[in-house]
Amino acid sequence: MTRAHRLDPYRLLLAVLALASLATLALRETPAPGTLGAFVADEANAANLFATATLEPPEDLAATVVDATTVDLAWTATVSAFSEGYDVYRSEVLGGPYAYVDSVVGLPTTAYQDGGLTPGTTYYYVVRATYQSWASGDSGETSAQPN
pLDDT of residue 21: 43
Quick one: 72 and 39 in the same domain?
no
Inside any domain, residue 123: yes
Beta bridge partners of 88: 102, 127
Mean pLDDT of 60-68: 98
Question: In this structure, are 63 and 124 located in the same domain?
Answer: yes
Q: Both 36 and 76 in a single domain?
A: no
Please count the structural domains in the chain: 2
- Helical (H) or strand (E) element with 10: helix 9-18
Residue 102, beta-bridge partner list:
88
Provide the whole-model pTM: 0.68
Supply the pLDDT for residue 81: 84
Q: Which ranges constitute the DSSP H helices of the chain? A: 9-18
**What is residue 19's predicted lDDT score, i.e. its pLDDT?**
45
31-40, 85-94, 109-118: least confidently modelled range: 31-40
Instruction: Give the number of other CB atoms < 10 A from CB of residue 14.
Output: 11
- Whether 107 shows a pLDDT value over 50: the answer reads yes
Query: Which uninterrupted H or E stretch holds 9?
Result: helix 9-18
Q: What percent of the chain has pLDDT over 90?
A: 56
Q: Quick one: 137 and 67 in the same domain?
A: yes
Question: Angle at Cα 84 formed by Cα 80 and Cα 90, nearest 5°?
Answer: 95
